[in-house]
Amino acid sequence: MNEYFKQRRLAAAERLGIAQEKIPRHVAIIMDGNGRWAQQRGEPRFVGHREGGKRVEPITLAASDMGIEAISLYSFSLQNWKRPAMEVDFLMQLFTRYLVEIRGMLKDNNVRLKHLGRIEGLPSLLVDELLKTEEITSGYDGLTLGLALNYGSREEVVDAAKSIAEKVASGEITVDDIDETLVSDNLYTAGLPDPDLVIRTSHELRMSNFLLWQSSYAEFYIAGKFWPDFMVEDFEEAIVKFADRSRRMGDVKPVN
């Protein structure tokens, strides 16, 4: 971990009253409840998606200020294509506009964008802006913002298996070279630490096909708020609660 992250983690730890080493390196968020948030207010679902989009920047900046190395946001799953066409079209337009609008924020805060998911099937204009934003931010070495767009965890593992199989077939590697590290290196999240903390909003208790391999030992925090109501103070509360957990990773601490 470089000095950039260490200084931010130290300042955040002092402010939140937790140990510096207790701040997670990677936080994954299942941003749930946009549609229900709108429906409770008598609004169409797209209003909830629009309001939910407004929460991304402050939460990303809060993570950056804490010295968190990566934050992955579950934005649109492969299963979400089954939603009504009008809702899907609105979301694709929202993502396209968002990828342009956040470039200034990413630049000003040294944040790198990394797409997590399949490019195939996304609208061409969205793909253009996604790849352009990735390219523009590729040299930034602060927080990595992982945008899980057109994503499914089982499909991610399938894609990794195909990539590894192709390498075996070409003679680049042998079957004996396949281990957990190789699998991880062929996932969309290659190069990122595994999530330490998974946050899910709207009080739901599902993984929803998100980072299943990577979250094997992650801690979970269930927020009783819809995503549009999830504020920076809620994010900080999740970090403080995480810091109070005992992470044994399958080990058992000796009893004195």
Q: Do the domain assignments include residue 9? A: no
Would the pLDDT of 147 be above 90? yes
What pLDDT is recorded for position 168?
A: 98
C-alpha to C-alpha distance for 194 and 223, rounded to whole angstroms: 21
What pLDDT is recorded for position 185?
A: 98
Q: Which of 32, 34, 150, 196 is catalytic?
A: 32
Q: What percent of the chain has pLDDT over 70?
A: 96
Q: How many domains does the chain have?
A: 1
Q: Which of 65, 80, 185, 209 is catalytic?
A: 80
C-alpha to C-alpha distance for 253 and 255, rounded to whole angstroms: 6
Q: Domain limits at 140?
A: 23-152+195-243
DSSP state of 210: S
Rounded to an integer, the average pLDDT of 217-230 is 97
Judge whether 201 and 30 are in contact, CB under 8 Å: yes
Would the pLDDT of 254 be above 80? no
Predicted confidence band at 256 (pLDDT cuts at 50, 70, 90)? very low
pLDDT in tens, 16-34: 999 999 999 999 999 999 9
Rounded to an integer, the average pLDDT of 219-224 is 97
Would the pLDDT of 248 be above 80? no
Would the pLDDT of 162 be above 80? yes
Predicted confidence band at 246 (pLDDT cuts at 50, 70, 90)? confident
Predicted confidence band at 237 (pLDDT cuts at 50, 70, 90)? very high
The answer to whether residue 179 is catalytic is no
| CATH code where residue 97 lies | 3.40.1180.10
Q: Do the domain assignments include residue 18? A: no
What pLDDT is recorded for position 249?
A: 67
CA-nearest of 16, 31, 1, 2 to 223 is 31
The answer to whether residue 80 is catalytic is yes
pLDDT in tens, 66-100: 999 999 999 999 999 999 999 999 999 999 999 99
Rounded to an integer, the average pLDDT of 122-137 is 98
What pLDDT is recorded for position 3?
A: 87
Q: Do the domain assignments include residue 170? A: no
pTM of the model: 0.94
What pLDDT is recorded for position 255?
A: 45
Q: H or E segment at 182?
A: helix 180-185
Q: Burial code of 131-163, b = ≥16 C-beta within 10 A, e = fewer?
A: eebeeebeebebbbbbbbbbbbbebbeebbeee
Predicted confidence band at 251 (pLDDT cuts at 50, 70, 90)? low
